[in-house]
A and B are shown apart, each in its own frame.
Chain A
């Protein structure tokens, strides 16, 4: 490897290899660790007592469990799709954001994966959705969207983790070479799967990396649609809409991008990676976020219009979601995920760290409220007035949500601590090209 390259990416590697990492990191880790404990507590209480510890009832059989699931999976999908596209298009942005975009996707899917299992009345029997030759000779019901979801989520875990890990291999090798302590060397060494940077290695790596990236493309469509189908295929007046999958895909993308932006901004500021994540990258990212926000804006409009065109009860249901007792959720969603991002029309805003963090955060919040509005607000209107009820989340539910956020942050923190947050080999590759050209 050329000395230039060495020097150019050494700070990134040093981050991972340095012995001390500053008190901020520790504080953040402890905070998120506490939330992870909270997660543990809520999970245990659900396991011991049952989902009754949440605010769920008939007809609101789903609460935060599905809201959070839909939300996390959206982040995972958005981020992985974004990363995959960058890889396939060999776009410059990939050098700077790919690594943690993939990371974000992977950690989000882990958080999401918790919910389909804990939301069950009898979680210990979740494996019954998996087709295996049981002695009672009963098979899963393949027409059920929940069965599809089982496959979707498990595929998702595999693919996103692969995308992330395959991308990491060459840099793990670099860390192995640069590490001083032998044990550290060995650990990175094993993780690097004996990478020696030979041409054949690079060829295989590129093929594998792009192959996985291609797998991601259909995955997001399938995944988000499956989530959407869980609502769309039911008879619930407000859910029974062919437009649901589109809505989930688009808002999911916006959500993924926004979280990537959020993390990018924080890392750039926190680890002083301005050199690797430069203004151009940030600006481009900002434009993408704005674009995706506009798309979701369009879809909200579409929702409204199709509601007007729909027949009696469907219209009533959607309108009551927008204007009824739960209208707050709906409008919060719109303000946070569509209106606020409009700041990014201004270049200054796109490049300001504060604005970036703010917008990234607000879209995340917005989409969360969107899921809340669909799952809870959407159930307000049912066929028989006699069964109309209200839903209010409990502390345990909220704890579960905060817990997953803690888990996500903790994983992210460990990631930035022990692994290169910016793809070093990609950066080197870039700079080579710049020199050669």
Chain B
């Protein structure tokens, strides 16, 4: 097939040139030269053309004069300004109604796994991402990264032209470069060709990889991701003798023990696991499950756990050995077992097969092995755990990044192909990958940005955004979701699939490549199944089946290594906002308060209060952290509940070539990440005697003994406020609907999905670090985080706080111009175009949920393209107050729909953005006038209470108390 290749290269060049942005004049120029067009025009304009020869200029004038010049520009639906023109489309588009968004089901990758999403697209421009209810990894919920992909799609810094040694090249030049090189490689059967890519679950990619390998038998593949699961794999290979992935079923688990990591934030199935855990908690007929988190760094799962056991990483091993020993899993008990081991062991034994022990990604393989041993021992397999074929299959013979480094040092690499990712930045520092890549004679990087890797490769090729291109992805349980474009490519670029297709001499048409994959699999009946799968966003029945596996009977853990006493443990972790750094240029995520620290626009070295006292430092003091001879300077964050003598560094900051938003923010933890111990290393702390300002949205985290967060024991109820308190404010009649919201603090895991979903839905501005530091962030919905108890190991509570839409709203009476008023359905309307900005309403809001446009926040470097804006929500002006509207545009749309169909709104028909994104259904919205609505039922719940109820503001947003099992029962 190699001989097809040249043809495809031309096709590629042609396509990309044509795609090169909506530039009418250029396309006109090109069109004008085409004979076929000339013929066409003659047919259409006989009267013009019969007058003998029409020269090119006449033709151009004719076209441009009669064409809607603004037409193309106006396609960027965002600017619906007063002067927006009325557009007559060229052709009738069946199924398309102007102004009515279209929903497209697709899948988004995170660390190679897929999460199914539904993309809302307005006039062909994606504006919002929701979870796909049919997708097992989503169940309709989304995480912050999925929500933020909209902004990444419109990132102005995305690369749009090939680069050679840093200077732009035309696509034709790229193809002119590739063609000979490729032929040469084909002849040499790929000798000297090394391909570096991240592990992927995409069947199409794997199919193309195998084709490529046929073509280049001697090419060497290397797989690398900074967020690796190597330790777990080693344990699995050791214990089961083969590679496997695991799927947990938390609805079945009675006792769950997590060892580090974050089951609710960092596992491939985190959304599903959070949802299942809450589902299990809601099972009235079963006793509440017990969740224990043994961890160094506070995590979401730890915050939700019934009990946290704070351990330094180096002590976890001993702890698990103790646990395993007391469960007679054939393990010699460690000399001194942790006091809570026996109790934990007892609970596990009681749970039997309904137990689950999960070790986090950063744990050493021994811990993983012991965890698996315990699960096997108690028969958890088949109940709470399923073993499946690895979702991201290993490319056989694939090597690691080290091997690549070695190969380059040995000058065995003549051609290096970096397919996606940003290894030059994410590689452990001691490999010194950037300078190694520079040594490779021919290197090519396919990536979305002109990032650190692009700058060290000879060639850089723009990569499409997942929302622009075709592909397929498997979810954590193997379910396949097809990835289909939700928009025309905004920038000319290639997907990894297309590039490999090119290399393999296949077509460069992504759709064709994906279809080919599944035509092979499905055989006849392909068309129907393809269509259905595209519509559903999932290929039904594609989940990988459980496989029977046996734990090696003669397995014994290596004797416990003596716990070293020197130094402090340095734990590396993916960042809750920018993951591994790939989201660094995303303003929404940068400004998203991290769940536990509420820090924005940067990262910090998390240390325990105890450690802080020992060094005599406080949050914002810089330390010099030395790991294996490498030093970084980082500000510390004193994190209640962090393990002493340990420090946590989150990855993904300190980038140099992320783009206009992500550059030089925070510090780069990769710089001290050792390649041999990428997750837990040992280091030294030195106080630097410098202060590095940290920006946070919440400065006080003590409840100060106030009745803000309520906690009840199982089955207990919380004191109810009396409704018959006198008020001078008027009573409102409600004929039809009265909207209200209930937020279940027992379900909220603090994941922030609601915050960013709200931001995406409501065009909420990103104000930037300086403004946030001044206390001017704009989030309509904030998640307050409180600690109570000992700073060494406090309980952590999350409380999402949107506008309360008070029945007796204090803000309404103080506005001099009636800009904030009570609606007939009990909403507290904020009328931007009436607001003159006295800010009195905010003064009189006890919840301080109002946000003010102190400056023109919609005209800054952080402001996304108008295309990313939701046209159903007014973009707020400078000097105007704004706040949560209960997504009134969604209410309006739903009502209009119901009116047209002449029916009443159904319960659950209106979903607020925050509600829709929530993985645990902690937020329920609906009509409180309808006694049978879900929200009414929750408000009748005995756990229901109003925040600051004693102020008699009668908030429409109420909370359900968190349920905690009193300690003595434990």
Binding site for B on A (CB under 8 A): 49-53, 55-62, 119-123, 125-126, 128-129, 138-141, 143-147, 150, 230, 233-236, 382-390
Query: In the complex, what residues of B have CB within 8 A of residue A389's CB?
Result: 699, 775
Whole-angstrom CA separation of A141 from B701 in the bound complex: 37
Contacts known (A57-B775, A139-B818, A141-B816); A122 close to B704, Cβ less than 8 A: no
Q: Could you tell me if A121 and B816 are in contact, using CB atoms closer than 8 angstroms?
A: no
Which of B563-571, B733-741, B842-850, B961-969 touches A?
Answer: B842-850
From B704, B784, B854, give the contact of A52 (CB < 8 A).
B854
**Shortest beta-carbon distance, B416 to chain A, in Å?**
49
Contacts known (A384-B708, A387-B848); A234 close to B843, Cβ less than 8 A: yes
B856 contacts chain A at the CB level, 8 A cutoff: yes
Which of B285-293, B472-480, B829-837, B895-903 touches A?
Answer: B829-837
Contacts known (A49-B855, A121-B879); A144 close to B837, Cβ less than 8 A: no
**Shortest beta-carbon distance, A405 to chain B, in Å?**
25
Which of B315-323, B504-512, B637-645, B807-815 touches A?
Answer: B807-815
Query: In the complex, what residues of A have CB within 8 A of residue B601's CB?
Result: none
Whole-angstrom CA separation of A122 from B835 in the bound complex: 8
Can you name 10 extra interface pairs (CB under 8 A) apart from A122-B877, A235-B844? A51-B879, A53-B855, A57-B774, A121-B880, A122-B837, A122-B879, A128-B817, A236-B844, A387-B698, A388-B700
Query: In the complex, what residues of B have CB within 8 A of residue A126's CB?
Result: 836
Contacts known (A61-B852, A121-B881, A234-B844); A141 close to B700, Cβ less than 8 A: no
- Contacts A/B (CB < 8 Å), 26 sampled: A52-B771, A52-B854, A53-B855, A57-B854, A59-B842, A61-B840, A62-B839, A121-B835, A121-B838, A121-B878, A122-B837, A128-B816, A138-B818, A141-B815, A141-B818, A150-B816, A234-B810, A234-B840, A235-B846, A382-B848, A384-B708, A384-B948, A385-B708, A385-B786, A386-B698, A390-B775
Query: In the complex, what residues of B have CB within 8 A of residue A145's CB?
Result: 814, 840
Whole-angstrom CA separation of A53 from B879 in the bound complex: 12
Whole-angstrom CA separation of A123 from B845 in the bound complex: 23
**Shortest beta-carbon distance, A355 to chain B, in Å?**
40
Q: Could you tell me if A385 and B834 are in contact, using CB atoms closer than 8 angstroms?
A: no
Query: In the complex, what residues of B have CB within 8 A of residue A234's CB?
Result: 810, 814, 840, 843-844
From A55, A141, A383, give the contact of B948 (CB < 8 A).
A383
Q: Is the interface of B mostly helix, strand, loop or mixed?
A: loop
**Shortest beta-carbon distance, A413 to chain B, in Å?**
34
From B706, B708, B782, B836, give the contact of A120 (CB < 8 A).
B836
Q: Which residue of B lies closest to A385 (CB)?
A: B700
Q: Could you tell me if B838 and A120 are in contact, using CB atoms closer than 8 angstroms?
A: yes
Binary contact track B120-156/A, C-beta < 8 Å → 1, others 0 = 0000000000000000000000000000000000000
B703 contacts chain A at the CB level, 8 A cutoff: yes
**Shortest beta-carbon distance, B754 to chain A, in Å?**
16
Query: What 4 A-B pairs are tightest by C-beta distance, nearest first?
Result: A121-B837, A121-B879, A52-B854, A57-B775
Q: Could you tell me if B840 and A144 are in contact, using CB atoms closer than 8 angstroms?
A: yes
B951 contacts chain A at the CB level, 8 A cutoff: yes
Q: Could you tell me if B951 and A386 are in contact, using CB atoms closer than 8 angstroms?
A: no
Q: Could you tell me if B836 and A129 are in contact, using CB atoms closer than 8 angstroms?
A: yes
B438 contacts chain A at the CB level, 8 A cutoff: no
**Shortest beta-carbon distance, B802 to chain A, in Å?**
13
Q: Which residue of B lies closest to A128 (CB)?
A: B817
Query: In the complex, what residues of B have CB within 8 A of residue A119's CB?
Result: 838
Q: Could you tell me if B776 and A52 are in contact, using CB atoms closer than 8 angstroms?
A: yes
Instruction: Count contacts on B: residues with CB < 8 A to the other chain.
Output: 54
Q: Could you tell me if A121 and B848 are in contact, using CB atoms closer than 8 angstroms?
A: no
**Shortest beta-carbon distance, A394 to chain B, in Å?**
9
**Shortest beta-carbon distance, A114 to chain B, in Å?**
15
Whole-angstrom CA separation of A386 from B842 in the bound complex: 15
Query: In the complex, what residues of B have CB within 8 A of residue A125's CB?
Result: 836
**Shortest beta-carbon distance, B691 to chain A, in Å?**
16
Q: Could you tell me if A61 and B842 are in contact, using CB atoms closer than 8 angstroms?
A: yes
B851 contacts chain A at the CB level, 8 A cutoff: yes
Contacts known (A58-B842, A234-B810, A389-B699); A384 close to B836, Cβ less than 8 A: no
Q: Is the interface of A mostly helix, strand, loop or mixed?
A: loop
Query: In the complex, what residues of A have CB within 8 A of residue B708's CB?
Result: 384-385
Whole-angstrom CA separation of A125 from B817 in the bound complex: 10
Binary contact track B688-727/A, C-beta < 8 Å → 1, others 0 = 0000000000111111101010000000000000000000
Whole-angstrom CA separation of A58 from B848 in the bound complex: 7
B853 contacts chain A at the CB level, 8 A cutoff: yes
Q: Which residue of B lies closest to A121 (CB)?
A: B837
Query: In the complex, what residues of A have CB within 8 A of residue B879's CB?
Result: 50-51, 120-123
Q: Which residue of A lies closest to B844 (CB)?
A: A234
Q: Which residue of A lies closest to B846 (CB)?
A: A383
Whole-angstrom CA separation of A59 from B846 in the bound complex: 10
Query: In the complex, what residues of A have CB within 8 A of residue B856's CB?
Result: 49-50
Q: Could you tell me if B838 and A146 are in contact, using CB atoms closer than 8 angstroms?
A: yes
From B774, B775, B816, B951, give the contact of A147 (CB < 8 A).
B816
Q: Could you tell me if B852 and A58 are in contact, using CB atoms closer than 8 angstroms?
A: yes
**Shortest beta-carbon distance, A130 to chain B, in Å?**
10
Whole-angstrom CA separation of A51 from B771 in the bound complex: 13
Q: Which residue of A lies closest to B820 (CB)?
A: A141
Q: Could you tell me if A50 and B855 are in contact, using CB atoms closer than 8 angstroms?
A: yes
**Shortest beta-carbon distance, B846 to chain A, in Å?**
4
**Shortest beta-carbon distance, B187 to chain A, in Å?**
64
Contacts known (A122-B837, A382-B846, A383-B951); A146 close to B854, Cβ less than 8 A: no
Q: Which residue of A lies closest to B850 (CB)?
A: A58
Contacts known (A141-B813, A386-B700); A61 close to B847, Cβ less than 8 A: no
Q: Which residue of A lies closest to B702 (CB)?
A: A385
Q: Could you tell me if A383 and B847 are in contact, using CB atoms closer than 8 angstroms?
A: yes
Q: Which residue of A lies closest to B831 (CB)?
A: A138
**Shortest beta-carbon distance, B103 to chain A, in Å?**
35
Whole-angstrom CA separation of A121 from B880 in the bound complex: 6
From A50, A120, A386, A387, give the contact of B854 (CB < 8 A).
A50
Whole-angstrom CA separation of A197 from B840 in the bound complex: 51
Q: Could you tell me if B948 and A138 are in contact, using CB atoms closer than 8 angstroms?
A: no
Query: In the complex, what residues of A have CB within 8 A of residue B776's CB?
Result: 52, 57-58
Query: In the complex, what residues of B have CB within 8 A of residue A382's CB?
Result: 846, 848
Binary contact track B759-803/A, C-beta < 8 Å → 1, others 0 = 000000000000100111000001011100000000000010100
Whole-angstrom CA separation of A138 from B703 in the bound complex: 42
Q: Could you tell me if B836 and A385 are in contact, using CB atoms closer than 8 angstroms?
A: no
Q: Could you tell me if A146 and B816 are in contact, using CB atoms closer than 8 angstroms?
A: yes
**Shortest beta-carbon distance, B708 to chain A, in Å?**
6
Whole-angstrom CA separation of A60 from B848 in the bound complex: 10
Q: Could you tell me if A50 and B699 are in contact, using CB atoms closer than 8 angstroms?
A: no
Whole-angstrom CA separation of A235 from B801 in the bound complex: 18
Whole-angstrom CA separation of A131 from B599 in the bound complex: 46
Whole-angstrom CA separation of A423 from B379 in the bound complex: 103
Chain B residues 470-529 with CB under 8 Å of chain A are: none
**Shortest beta-carbon distance, B444 to chain A, in Å?**
46
Query: In the complex, what residues of A have CB within 8 A of residue B948's CB?
Result: 383-384
Query: In the complex, what residues of A have CB within 8 A of residue B838's CB?
Result: 119-121, 146
Whole-angstrom CA separation of A39 from B848 in the bound complex: 32
Whole-angstrom CA separation of A230 from B844 in the bound complex: 10
From A144, A233, A384, give the contact of B815 (CB < 8 A).
A144
Q: Could you tell me if B951 and A235 are in contact, using CB atoms closer than 8 angstroms?
A: yes
Binary contact track B672-701/A, C-beta < 8 Å → 1, others 0 = 000000000000000000000000001111
Whole-angstrom CA separation of A139 from B810 in the bound complex: 19
Q: Could you tell me if B699 and A388 are in contact, using CB atoms closer than 8 angstroms?
A: yes
Whole-angstrom CA separation of A120 from B853 in the bound complex: 11
Q: Which residue of B lies closest to A49 (CB)?
A: B855
Contacts known (A58-B851, A384-B848); A140 close to B816, Cβ less than 8 A: yes
Whole-angstrom CA separation of A230 from B839 in the bound complex: 12
Chain B residues 839-897 with CB under 8 Å of chain A are: 839-840, 842-848, 850-856, 877-881
Whole-angstrom CA separation of A193 from B487 in the bound complex: 76
Q: Could you tell me if B836 and A121 are in contact, using CB atoms closer than 8 angstroms?
A: yes
Contacts known (A59-B848, A385-B706); A144 close to B816, Cβ less than 8 A: yes
Contacts known (A121-B878, A141-B816, A235-B846); A385 close to B839, Cβ less than 8 A: no
**Shortest beta-carbon distance, A115 to chain B, in Å?**
12
